[in-house]
Amino acid sequence: MAYLRLLTIFLITTFISQSLASAIDAPPFTSAFTSSYSSATPPPSATLSTTTPPSPFSSEALKAPPQFLNPLASITQTLAELGFHDLALASHSLSLSSASHVSWQGPITVFAPMDSAVRTCPSCSLSLLLQEHTVPGLYPLDYLNRLIFGTKIETILAGKCLTVTSSVNATKIFIGGAEITRPNLYVSDHVIIHGLQGFISHLSPFSCSIDRLTSLSLPHPSPTTALNRMMMAEAMIRLRTSGYSILALAMRVKYPELITLHNMTIFAVDDSSIFHGGHSYVHSVRFHIVPNRILKLADLENLPAMTVLPTLEIGETLTVTTPGGGGALSPLRINYVKIKYPNLIYNLKMVVHGLAFPFPHLRQSTTSTGRSAFYPTHTGEFTSDERYSTDGNLQQTTAAPSPVMQSVVDMDDVHQGL
């Protein structure tokens, strides 16, 4: 009996030992369950070795912005809903890349002309027109109001720029000469749309360069020369938009001469006054420019009576006939003409003062008392029995000037100048 018990214990121990040895020698996870799973589907390692899933951090994925951040995803619908149907048809051109246009995927601002304006130019390329009216970045109206007059903003077409200008009182903003009449029509985090009156003609390849745009550039200009040209161009633009187009045109004609001056003081007559009797200004613009001096109103008022100011016209000068400081009853007068709009435009290059009518050409003569006096023949303010002496006081006479004095008093009606 004891023998059978010992034999049973020995068999049990032998079985357990063999089972443990087989478990240790076998590969990991080789069980009936794993073998049946392997026969049905390949192991995960096999799948990973043949196919790699796309990584969310690949360069291709990073280059393409999410669809909800792409402003071009909804621009077509937005333009159409605002009434810009022709531009909506061409909106696909904003996402196309070409030799001159790299697709821009960031925020944009569109200066949108109405369909009726676009259709007045049947030869215009609609796709190109939209690209030239679109700039990268967000430009709401309040930001445009703060830009310096003449600021250039590059469009999504490389080398093509729009110029931002404004009216005198900054109540109107112009983009490329077209007024923004419906500002901030659509404003979002990625798109701003302004409505224009009219449209901007196809831009010049030189629209980003003031010098080349005006055909007045010189090779390799120095920084000082480039700054002078920019200030000259700005002044001409402001004169044109302020009602002084004739002076702006004259400055463009004489640009090579004016750009050589360190600075200048210009006395301007507006277009309306020229058309209503101030025709002599057209022939005597150079007579109204004091070279190489910046004379603002405060500087002019500090000049004593009979101060002589040189002009660009050879042999012709201006004279301070009434000094400043006399108040409203005795304002500053130069060649008997008072300044109507002082400091109309000024920068480091020039200052422009507005006149009601052109300066007369004075002729100096000696009176019976031996004093020197100047006589204009006609200015619209003085008659033949008025004259000014060297002390600037108005003297009344009871008789017209003698024939000898009359010959000295004559004024050049047609003065050779600009």
Instruction: Please tell me whether residues 93 and 141 are part of one structural domain.
Output: yes
The pLDDT score that the predictor gives to residue 71 is 58
Query: Which residue has better confidence, 265 or 416?
Result: 265
The verdict on residue 246 lying in a domain is: yes
The verdict on residue 154 lying in a domain is: yes
Q: What's the Cα-to-Cα distance from 416 to each of 191, 268, 365, rounded to whole Å?
A: 55, 17, 23
**Rg value, the chain, Cα:** 41
The pLDDT score that the predictor gives to residue 290 is 96
Residue 58 has pLDDT above 60, yes or no: no
- What six digits make up the tokens of 261? 């001056």
The verdict on residue 205 lying in a domain is: no
Residue 319 has pLDDT above 60, yes or no: yes
Instruction: Please tell me whether residues 323 and 253 are part of one structural domain.
Output: yes
Q: Give residue 373's domain range.
A: 363-409
The verdict on residue 29 lying in a domain is: no
Q: 41: which DSSP letter?
A: S
The verdict on residue 279 lying in a domain is: yes
**End position of a domain, from candidates 169, 196, 223:** 196
Compute, in degrees rounded to 10, the torsion defined by CA atoms 348, 354, 357, 362.
-40
Instruction: Please tell me whether residues 299 and 368 are part of one structural domain.
Output: no
Q: What is the overall mean pLDDT for the chain?
A: 74
Instruction: Please tell me whether residues 221 and 335 are part of one structural domain.
Output: yes
The verdict on residue 37 lying in a domain is: no
Instruction: Please tell me whether residues 162 and 82 are part of one structural domain.
Output: yes
Range scoring the smallest mean pLDDT among 79-88, 199-208, 287-296, 346-355: 199-208
- pLDDT digits over 174-228, tens only? 998 889 999 999 999 889 999 999 888 888 888 887 544 443 333 444 556 667 7
Instruction: For residue 221, give the CATH number of its domain.
Output: 2.30.180.10
The pLDDT score that the predictor gives to residue 210 is 58
Instruction: Please tell me whether residues 223 and 340 are part of one structural domain.
Output: yes
Q: Summarize the confidence of residues 264-278 as an average pLDDT.
A: 90
Name, in order, each residue with C-beta under 8 angstroms of 164's C-beta and a sequence gap of 6 or more: 144, 147, 149, 150, 151, 152, 153, 173, 174, 175
Q: What percent of the chain has pLDDT over 70?
A: 62
324 pLDDT tier (thresholds 50, 70, 90) = confident
- pLDDT digits over 101-154, tens only? 556 677 889 999 999 988 888 888 888 999 999 998 889 999 898 888 888 898
Instruction: Please tell me whether residues 179 and 233 are part of one structural domain.
Output: no
Q: For tokens 């007579």, name the residue.
A: 287
- Coil/strand/helix, residue 226: helix
Three-state secondary structure string covering 141-168: HHHHHHCCCCEEEECCECCCEEEEEECC
Instruction: Please tell me whether residues 227 and 191 are part of one structural domain.
Output: no
Residue 351 has pLDDT above 60, yes or no: yes
Range scoring the smallest mean pLDDT among 58-62, 334-338, 356-360: 58-62
Instruction: Please tell me whether residues 316 and 396 are part of one structural domain.
Output: no
Instruction: Please tell me whether residues 247 and 169 are part of one structural domain.
Output: no
Instruction: Please tell me whether residues 239 and 334 are part of one structural domain.
Output: yes
Q: If phi over 0 gives left and psi between -120 and 50 gives alpha, with beta otherwise, what is residue 156?
A: alpha
Q: Summarize the confidence of residues 378-387 as an average pLDDT.
A: 40
The verdict on residue 47 lying in a domain is: no
Query: How many domains does the structure of the chain reveal?
Result: 3
Q: Summarize the confidence of residues 280-287 as an average pLDDT.
A: 90
The verdict on residue 219 lying in a domain is: yes
For residue 289, what are the β-bridge partners?
A: 266
The pLDDT score that the predictor gives to residue 285 is 93
